[in-house]
Amino acid sequence: MRKWRIEDSEELYNIDGWGNGYFSINEKGNVQVSPRKKPGGSVDLNELMRELYLRDVSAPVLVRFPKILDNRIEKISTCFEI
């Protein structure tokens, strides 16, 4: 039996199917979000939840990434350019 890999997690959770390049699995095996779809500036969601826990914020938590929304609106609006 081979060792579990990041690619295994990406396939298991179908990250490419719903993540649109904004979500991926990092080297620690955690889900991360890259709001600008660029390297760097990624947020490890597990670390984010740990930080919120330390601040006595309990789940469920709504986390918004306005840069993702901005990017999606920009992409959609280019469809209407002549």
pLDDT score for 47:
96
Domain assignment of residue 52, yes or no: yes
pLDDT score for 56:
97
Distance CA 49, CA 61 (A): 9
Q: Domain with 30 in it: what CATH number?
A: 2.40.37.10
Each residue's pLDDT tens digit, 27-82? 998 999 998 877 678 999 999 999 999 999 988 999 999 999 998 899 899 888 77
- Domain containing 14 equals 6-78
How many domains is the chain built from?
A: 1
pLDDT score for 30:
92
Q: What residues contact residue 49 under an 8 Å CB cut-off, 6+ apart? A: 59, 61
Is pTM beyond 0.85? Reply is no
